[in-house]
Structures are given as C-alpha cells and as structure tokens.
Structure 1
Amino acid sequence: MPENVPLPIRRDAACPFSPDPEMARLRETDPVTTSQALMPTGELVDVRLVTGYSAARGAGLPAPE
C-alpha cells in the first residue's frame, strides 16, 4: 500500500523555499515514493513523488539552466 503524503505541499510563510518537514524526511529516507492524490473529480490516483536531487536527475528530467 502506498504511503499517503499530504498534497498539496505545505509551505512555511516565513520561508516559502524551505521544504515541508514531511518532504524533507522523504528526501532523506525514500527519495522516490509512491503516494496517492485526490483529484478534484473525487478520483484517487497513484502518484510518484521524487524528492531527492540525484533521483530527479536519474528520472530523466531536464537539467536546470
């Protein structure tokens, strides 16, 4: 069963660039996680959260310019 991670990601008003504590934990323990997201239609869908930099690079995402 996938781990349910709360979406949308919470932001700290004092520093919006700081990662959500749950995302920071996942980055350290499980940089590629399967979770579920509730769509506006009410459908529950499986999603992949890629929270680690090296995992994102390995996922075939384009390099930042």
Structure 2
Amino acid sequence: MIFLTFSNIITYFGLLISEPLMLLLFGAAMILLTFAARRLSHISRRTVESDIHQSLIERRTTVN
C-alpha cells in the first residue's frame, strides 16, 4: 500500500514536470515553423517580384 502511494506521487510529479516541458517544446516548434513559413513566403514573393521585373524588362526591350 505504501509502495502504491509512493508510485502515485512519483507519477504525479513526473506529469507535473513533463507537461510544461511538452508545452514548451510544442511552443518552440510552433515559433520555428512560423519563422520558416515567413522566410519561405518572403523568398517566393521576392522570386515573383523578380519574375515580374524581368518580364517588364523583356517587354521594354522588344518594343524598342
């Protein structure tokens, strides 16, 4: 009976420690994913802008 209570206390403290740790790791993963998504969208936006710029230059040179 004493062992069972001791085991329950250890389990309770294990959950008490591991739960915030899991939330912290999950939060860190979300922050990293957000930064990665921003970076990727920035790169793709720059590519689209340079494609538009390039097509405008080509149009200008063919007109002249």
Larger RCO of the pair (alpha carbons < 8 Å, separation 6+): 1
Relative to the length of structure 1, the TM-score reads 0.19
Q: Higher helix proportion, which one?
A: 2
Q: Higher strand proportion, which one?
A: 1
Relative to the length of structure 2, the TM-score reads 0.19
Bigger radius of gyration, 1 or 2? 2
